[in-house]
């Protein structure tokens, strides 16, 4: 199901407590029909936060699975296995 739910990826730069900047990623559902192909005309554009509708591009429309993989990077060990804490 994660590969068939489509939303808009938003990125905001946030200044951390230690003074360094970091990017926070947000995902907003913008299509109410499950499909494995990227929707050409998303059906829930009203869900996009105010001020971000003009930045909608094909590159910013991603699946929820893509968002999870972006935010929670898989850590591969030297032996080729993955860290179960991140899986």
d(CA 13, CA 11) in angstroms, rounded, equals 7
Average pLDDT of the chain? 85
Mean pLDDT to the nearest integer, 45-66: 84
Rounded Cα distance, 36 and 1, in Å: 9
Domain definitions of the chain by residue range: 6-71
Residue 80: phi, psi to the nearest 5?
95, -10
- pLDDT, mean of residues 45-69: 85
Taking only the tens place, the pLDDT of each residue in 8-32 is 998 888 887 777 788 888 999 999 8
pTM: 0.72
């Amino acid at each position: 199901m994660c590969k068939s739910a489509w939303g808009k990826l938003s990125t905001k730069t946030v200044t951390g407590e230690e003074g360094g900047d970091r990017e926070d990623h947000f995902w907003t559902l913008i299509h109410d029909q499950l499909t494995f192909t990227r929707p050409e005309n998303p059906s829930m554009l009203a869900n996009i936060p105010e001020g971000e509708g003009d930045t909608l591009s094909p590159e910013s429309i991603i699946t929820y699975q893509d968002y999870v993989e972006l935010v929670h990077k898989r850590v591969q060990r030297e032996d080729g296995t993955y860290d179960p804490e991140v899986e």
